[in-house]
Structure 1
């Protein structure tokens, strides 16, 4: 494994080189725009969409909820693995949010596998970016297929780093985009940071669902 990891940067360079040769160095400017787009989209979902759900549906203060689960979010961001963060997520939701062990042990393990909203969002942006880089035009029908495919493939995806790249490649193949493997190789150059970001969003979404289910069951949570 150490031998493989030592050659990984060389492998990423070899994957990026053919794409740069065919598209030019303007690819790096587009890659920067891609990173900004993903981060803004994840930030909007984390900072606007889910707090609205907490406030209006669960009747919970988003600020206090965020403070209660922040250690799990930091763990998720640093490891880029929702599975590795699961024990800490359950501890935060149970002990700091006041959700019962019954709801915690049911919602969070399932949410780690199927409630990957950050991953689904990331896959949509990634496929659109690759299509534009490779010069493939996508109409409304093709874009709708990408959204549906991203939602379906994000369900049950492994909670480990870079797992979504497999789903992205699958969507690109079914969208009939040529040289998809080379384009996905380009995403590896920036995927680590984006993987960390979307994992934090996934975990925050899991905690929101757990609190929402607890409130629907009539539980008096600590965070209000």
Structure 2
């Protein structure tokens, strides 16, 4: 028998929508469906006064210069000037509306909590101790952010249908076997069943 998903306290919760950008969406299968599920999660957050956090990857010229050649993930990105801040490929998808009061962070590494974002400090200042994660890719920003957030003692939920990976098998293994050790795994439709805050 599956244990019920513990409810949340909206005032202490943030929804993180991570790397929903054209350059990243292009790399995952069925990106339109994943984006639709992210929109559903956003609608839930808006209706429950849950803080919304947008995370995007983009590099300013000085960020490119700071990437060492030994960085296997980003050295080629820096060398070719890919994901330059201000380019269309790094914009948040236009179906995700950013409102006053939302947190928007720009990162130059994989995780949402990389030092330059200041995200952890911002969430702490607002009394947020619970995170709902959605993003692209499962083995990239979601995995890295989940691990870091768990080490910072956040309560964690992962929206499995608003998360995707270029490799569906990697997504499955992470969602079914790895993430449950540190997070509650759920569909976006299940958000509405979390019920009243406790």
Could you tell me the TM-score, scaled by structure 1's length? 0.28
Could you tell me the TM-score, scaled by structure 2's length? 0.30
When Rg is computed on C-alpha atoms for both structures, the one with the higher figure is 1
